[in-house]
């Protein structure tokens, strides 16, 4: 999933795995995007593109 990271962060998972987030556009696994702290540092950008496709076109 593509996301935009606003601030640097290190997300830690129960299994001990750590994922570093750096500012900018990144492609992350769904599990990372579902981490409880993810939304404090980043947001998905694919959903915006999906919503844009669902809107009716005004140029008919």
User: Which pLDDT score, from 0 to 100, does residue 34 have?
Assistant: 93
User: Is residue 58 pLDDT above 90, yes or no?
Assistant: no
Looking at the whole model, is its pTM more than 0.75? no
Which pair of tokens denotes residue 31? 């599990």
User: Which pLDDT score, from 0 to 100, does residue 47 have?
Assistant: 57
| Residue-range domain boundaries for the chain | 2-51
18 strand-pairing partners: 12
Nearest to 39 by CA among 3, 14, 12: 3
Task: List pLDDT tens digits, range 3-53.
Answer: 999 999 999 999 999 999 999 999 999 999 999 999 999 999 965 444 444
């Amino acid at each position: 999933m593509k996301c935009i990271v606003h601030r640097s962060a290190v997300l830690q998972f129960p299994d001990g795995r750590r994922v570093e987030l750096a500012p900018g556009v990144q492609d992350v696994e769904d599990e990372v995007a579902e981490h409880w702290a993810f939304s404090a540092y980043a947001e998905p950008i694919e959903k915006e593109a999906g919503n844009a496709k669902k809107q009716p076109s005004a140029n008919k």
